Amino acid sequence: MTEREKMIAGEFYVPSDPELLEARMRARRLCKQYNQSEADDWEGRDALIRQLFGSAGKEPYLEADFRCDYGANIHVGDYFYANFNCVILDCAPVTIGNNCMLAPMVGIYTATHPLDAKQRSSGKEYAKAITIGDDVWIGAQSVINPGVTIGNRVVVASGSVVTRDVPDDVVVAGNPAMILRHL
**pLDDT per residue over 128-172, tens digit each?**
999 999 999 999 999 999 999 999 999 999 999 999 999 999 999
**pLDDT > 70: percent of the chain:** 100
Residues 95-119 have a mean pLDDT of 96
pLDDT category at 102 given cuts 50, 70, 90 is very high
Q: Catalytic annotation on 75?
A: no
Name the H helices within the chain.
3-9, 18-36, 42-52, 117-120
Q: List beta partners, residue 181.
A: 171
Residues 44-69 have a mean pLDDT of 97
Per-chain mean pLDDT for the chain: 97
The b/e string for 153-173 (b: 16+ C-beta within 10 A; e otherwise) is ebbbbeebbbeeebeeebbbb
pTM over 0.85: yes
pLDDT category at 31 given cuts 50, 70, 90 is very high
Residues 59-87 have a mean pLDDT of 97
Residues 41-57 have a mean pLDDT of 97
Name the catalytic one among 24, 113, 124, 128: 113
